Structure 1
Amino acid sequence: MTKIDSITVDIIENALKNSKNEMDVTLFKAAMSPVIREQHDCFPMITDAEGNMVVGNFGSHVPEVVKQFPEGVQEGDVIFVSDPYTSGGSVSHVNDWMIILPIFYESTLVGYSSMFGHVIDVGGPVPSSMPVDARSIYGEGVRFPPVKLFAKDVLNEAVIAIIKANSRTPLENYSDLMALVASCRTAEKRVQEICSRFGIETYFAAMNAALERTNLMMRDLITKILPTEPVSFEDFIDDDGLGNGPFKMKLTIWREDDHAYFDWTGTDPQSPGPINYYLSEPMFKMFIGSFLISAFDPDINFNDGFYDVLHVISPKGTLMNPEFPAALGCRTHALSRMFDVLSGALSVNAPDSSPAAGYGTSPYFIFSGVDAKGDKFNLMEVQYGGLPGRPIGDGLDGHSWWPAFVNIPTEYLETYYPLIVDSYKTGTDSGGAGFYRGGNCNEKLYTILADGIVSIHDDRALIQPWGINGGEPGSCSSKTLIKQDGKRIHLASKIDDVKVEKGDQILFITAGSGGWGDPLDRPAGKVQSDVRRGLVSKEKALKSYGVYLNDYLELDEKQTEAIRAKIKVDRGTLESFNFGERKEQVHA
């Protein structure tokens, strides 16, 4: 085995990280769908020759896919897949298209590059291919099992023909697919350059060292933060869009020496509707590692080196491990809520060291129709919400769960789609009160400029994001159709085929997030600043924080001190978790 020093490992590891970033840039410049091009709903990865992720934003899915090609892979091959079930959960719904490209140097396989992105439409009964009333994956659009898009550099034209024939957005899909390929070819070129500079043996040794370093650091982290006695936590998804719910997600965690165990036993059976999440064991290990590293030790390089110290139990036929052909199109509610459950389980014994709950989903606004020029349009926009208060500071307002995701600029939306964004702001008082305030939600008001159809995907419309360590819960989400005559129509959080007319408005409000710590301990000057910035109302400042501000928003310290003292006496002991109140389902 080639010996290698830590400096060389750092140089090669950082070169690969830069290559991963270049993959993103290539994709953003070449893709056409705004959800990829503008919002960055994509995940790059570079692996070693065995398919272990060395750098990336997602866990490695390469071995599960590549083994389905008994003839193996050759130079010039490019693999394409969009089916969760035949790829072992490598992608989680059929809108996610994934490319895997084997990288060769001097005829030797040295690794793989991979990228997946969310394409706008893959067929099915509704625009954007995520029907909220789907009862099986057969009703969610065209899915591709692993297939060679290129075989020894020869394009499989039949795959392209199928793609174009089964989408409402054939041009965008084709462009996105080729952009994914270009992204992977960028990494291929960079890896070959690294191998040319250092040699294959040194390159292999550096990747092994990077994986081993992450393994050792993760073992140390596990022993510091996980309990030796099992602890459990539960949270709920509101409903499945078909009138069923709420759905419980239960997780039990513990450690044995420096190995961690995660058990989903007690989670509800799979849903009749499309909120199921086919969470393969490797993918869940990736999510666990991502969360632990981000929350507790960001210095650890995120790669597959820690997989052997994580152990997952996920009973078949449940929400987190559904059996084929369960519908999966709206799985982001379970995906995002998983982090709330994981955070809750980690905080049962130490609520002062973990964040509260966030908006807990991936809200979608989908608008399609024909514009004044007679051109078809299909917009799918990902919305964001409040990120939770945490031991180190306030939660982020109107932010994505995934750090790299961003919003579609208003100028882009208004240029390419028949709508006006009348306002786009954070929702006052939507973040739970706390020593560290929960992040506020997004409130977005659209005016529709062409008749069309709207679909909405969201959650936490009934069940609040919980507060922790004395913090209050965040606000629920809501959606309203405002007709031209001023009539306001409540919309369910999961709904398709909402007919809108030119001049109508849609008010899209996401959920906030929970606060961390006793609100009465938050410095009064910070509360005053929150009020002046429109993040907290004067009324909530008084009710939740005990801070008295006059009509000019000036702080009265004596009254504040007296009010806080009275609130402390009247309220009694604070609970570690504040789950708020569960709303009843409101029908349109």
Structure 2
Amino acid sequence: MSGFDPVTFEIIQNALEAVTDEMFAAQRKTSMSAIIYEVLDLGSGICDAEGEIAASGAGIPAFVGVLDKAVKRILDKHPAATIRPGDLFATNDPYWGGVTHLNDMILALPVFSDGRIVAWTANIAHWNDVGGNVPGSMSSEATEIFQEGVRVPAVKLFAAGVANEAVFDILMVNSRLPDFLRGDLWAGIAGVRIGERRILELIDKYGAACFTAALEDFMRLGERHALAGVARLPNGRYAFAEEQDDGAVYRVTVEITDDSFVVDLTDNPPQKGSSNSSREGSEISAQLAFKAVADADAPGNGGFYRPLKVLTRPGTVFHVEAPGAMGYYSEVEIRLFDLILRCLAAHIPDIVPAGNFASICGTVIGGPHPDTGRHYTIVEPQLGGWGAMKGRDGNPAIFSGFHGETYNCPAEVAEARYGLTVDELALTVAEGGDGRWRGGKGISVRYRVRADDNFLSVGYTRTRVPPWGVAGGGDGTPNFVEVLRPGKPAERYAFGTNIPLNRDDVIHLVTGVGGGYGDPRERDPLAVRRDLRDGYITPEHAEAVYGLR
């Protein structure tokens, strides 16, 4: 841009990435809940004055994708002319910019220079309990959002630097874990404030005009990368339909031209229960799939997504209408992410791997702590196996690409903070995902309950339809949950709410093996022997599938 140094632009752009990482670290280190400080179930970012994402920090990619949509909804409700320095907004309502479900709270702070908004700092994190009809606020039996917890519809948490104590009180009184909620809330506030401070330091150094110009230049850079990526993809119109665990069929059509990438979701089932996605959430799934195939290394800012268009139909599973429930929105969005990739797999095989376990595998366990009697709730996503791709085996025991660079809660932390004993945390013994390159292993976790009157709520998909193999590779294995009660048959679940648990009951969580790539008979014998040595396969399986004697 005329009048500014492009080297300075790059310094500012890289500084913004560093600022978002610092925001993330501040929130992580000051949070109360293990799902934030251990699992990293959060995301941070910086938006420009109009709400376009300008820089994204660490955390869940699907969470970072929420932030621009939340800021734009805040601006719809609160025009820029009515916003003052020191205002800070909160929203968790998917019908008011929250996008996901009520457990995920977004905080957004406008950054002012010379009396006008030049940027926004924003973050999102999962809170363990925001009220509703079940502990953990996630019920597979919910039919309306009113049953899922307290709704915060893009309101001012602070006005001109002064806390709105009424909002704080409403949040605390609606949670079964008010102390944790308070700590997690203030951690989020710290995150957006440290971001504001660092942006103002950049503006003091380079000037507001240069800062704004650098954001605009960064958006154009993102768009150039996206257009170049789209140009490398094969033009065409590709359709795919996949049956889901419950028998419903999800459909997608992807149309690629020289300069556009259109995802059509209009032909899909009606919204139902709590497994629905907002229209914005479906857009995020499409954005993540588009990023993966167009240019995984390019800046993930608002400019990058300009060639993408998403078509939905209101009232469907991918475009829920009020007052539809969304407690398990994540299973719908991850199914869509996987559906788009599977639609394109045959057309760009060197980019898209075989199917992965592709479920958040949301697990909520709680009840009275056996040592203190105080209510506890553990909320965990689970690790699983990734699909193989040409030239390499799938990764074992890792979160899905949709969930990003997050981590499991260590057994020592789970036992110290929650009323459970971890009997097992290991790779699953299930065999599947065979191929010239094999799928990665899922995990097997056994939690032993230490007190009566506990509960379990779960939401797992890919429990009947396994991860898919490619080019002759075998399918993977499904995800599932078992409750093992002394002296009784095992109870198997995919979705369940408030399943009663008592002392010495065991919750057995099993996640899937990823799909394989290529004919198993073409696998390197040395690799098969290594799999035998590492316990990935049995001798019988090595002989029957891979021909190794």
TM-score by length of structure 2 reads 0.94
1:143 aligns with 2:151: yes
Q: Which runs of 5+ in 1 are unaligned?
A: 239-244, 549-588
- Determine if contact 1:423/1:445 at 8 Å carries over to the other structure: yes
Residues 381-400 of structure 1 mapped to structure 2, 5 A cutoff? 381-400=380-399
Residues 89-100 of structure 1 mapped to structure 2, 5 A cutoff? 90-100=98-108
1:200 aligns with 2:202: no
How far apart, in 1, do the equivalents of 2:538 and 2:208 lie? Answer: 61
Q: Deviations over 1:444-463 (max 9, x none)?
A: 01111112111122111111
Q: Paired residue for 2:332, among 334, 340, 350?
A: 334
SS at match of 2:279: coil
Give the stretch that moved more between structures: 146-155 or 55-64: 55-64
Partner of 2:168: 160
Q: CA deviation at 1:246?
A: 2.1
Q: CA deviation at 1:547?
A: 2.3
- Determine if contact 2:425/2:445 at 8 Å carries over to the other structure: yes
How far apart, in 1, do the equivalents of 2:381 and 2:297 lie? Answer: 29
1:171 aligns with 2:169: no
1:217 aligns with 2:225: yes
How far apart, in 2, do the equivalents of 1:123 and 1:213 lie? Answer: 43
Q: Deviations over 1:348-369 (max 9, x none)?
A: 3344542111112111222211
CA-based RMSD of the aligned residues comes to 1.7
Partner of 1:73: 83
How far apart, in 1, do the equivalents of 2:330 and 2:287 lie? Answer: 19
1:193 to 1:210, Cα distance in 2 relative to 1, 3 A = same
Q: CA deviation at 1:18?
A: 0.8
Residues 97-496 of structure 1 mapped to structure 2, 5 A cutoff? 97-225=105-233, 227-238=234-245, 245-271=246-272, 273-280=273-280, 283-295=281-293, 297-372=295-370, 373-401=372-400, 402-451=403-452, 452-485=454-487, 487-496=488-497
Partner of 1:526: 527
How far apart, in 2, do the equivalents of 1:539 and 1:55 lie? Answer: 51
1:529 to 1:363, Cα distance in 2 relative to 1, 3 A = same
- What is the identity percentage for the equivalent residue pairs of Structure 1 and Structure 2? 31
How far apart, in 2, do the equivalents of 1:31 and 1:102 lie? Answer: 22
Partner of 2:95: 85
How far apart, in 2, do the equivalents of 1:11 and 1:193 lie? Answer: 13
- Determine if contact 2:286/2:310 at 8 Å carries over to the other structure: no
How far apart, in 2, do the equivalents of 1:123 and 1:289 lie? Answer: 31
Q: CA deviation at 1:286?
A: 4.3
SS at match of 2:378: strand
Larger of the two Rg values belongs to structure: 1
In structure 2, what residue type is equivalent to 1:508?
Answer: L
How far apart, in 1, do the equivalents of 2:96 and 2:49 lie? Answer: 22
Q: Deviations over 1:121-172 (max 9, x none)?
A: 1111111011111111111111110100000001011111111111111111
Q: CA deviation at 1:432?
A: 0.6
In structure 1, what residue type is equivalent to 2:480?
Answer: S
Q: CA deviation at 1:4?
A: 3.5
- Determine if contact 2:476/2:513 at 8 Å carries over to the other structure: yes
1:20 to 1:210, Cα distance in 2 relative to 1, 3 A = same
How far apart, in 1, do the equivalents of 2:182 and 2:143 lie? Answer: 28
Partner of 1:551: none
How far apart, in 2, do the equivalents of 1:440 and 1:316 lie? Answer: 38
Partner of 2:511: 510
In structure 1, what residue type is equivalent to 2:309?
Answer: H
How far apart, in 1, do the equivalents of 2:6 and 2:513 lie? Answer: 44
Partner of 2:31: 31
- Determine if contact 1:289/1:306 at 8 Å carries over to the other structure: no
Partner of 2:47: 47
Q: CA deviation at 1:491?
A: 2.5
How many residues align? The count is: 535
Partner of 1:63: 72
How far apart, in 1, do the equivalents of 2:296 and 2:331 lie? Answer: 26
Partner of 1:18: 18
In structure 2, what residue type is equivalent to 1:115?
Answer: N
TM-score by length of structure 1 reads 0.88
How far apart, in 1, do the equivalents of 2:92 and 2:458 lie? Answer: 23
- Determine if contact 2:263/2:286 at 8 Å carries over to the other structure: no
1:320 to 1:410, Cα distance in 2 relative to 1, 3 A = same
Q: Deviations over 1:194-224 (max 9, x none)?
A: 1111111111111111110110110111121
Q: CA deviation at 1:182?
A: 0.8
Q: Which runs of 5+ in 2 are unaligned?
A: none
- Determine if contact 1:430/1:439 at 8 Å carries over to the other structure: no
1:350 to 1:518, Cα distance in 2 relative to 1, 3 A = farther
In structure 1, what residue type is equivalent to 2:341?
Answer: S
How far apart, in 2, do the equivalents of 1:213 and 1:286 lie? Answer: 20
In structure 2, what residue type is equivalent to 1:234?
Answer: A
In structure 2, what residue type is equivalent to 1:230?
Answer: R
Give the stretch that moved more between structures: 465-474 or 363-372: 363-372
- Determine if contact 2:383/2:511 at 8 Å carries over to the other structure: yes
How far apart, in 2, do the equivalents of 1:196 and 1:547 lie? Answer: 67
How far apart, in 2, do the equivalents of 1:547 and 1:343 lie? Answer: 33
- Determine if contact 1:454/1:500 at 8 Å carries over to the other structure: yes
- Determine if contact 2:222/2:300 at 8 Å carries over to the other structure: yes
In structure 1, what residue type is equivalent to 2:317?
Answer: L
Q: Deviations over 1:397-434 (max 9, x none)?
A: 11112232101111111111121111111113445112
- Determine if contact 2:362/2:458 at 8 Å carries over to the other structure: yes
How far apart, in 1, do the equivalents of 2:82 and 2:534 lie? Answer: 59
Q: Deviations over 1:242-294 (max 9, x none)?
A: xxx322221111123311111013222222x11111132xx545443433434
How far apart, in 1, do the equivalents of 2:482 and 2:304 lie? Answer: 45
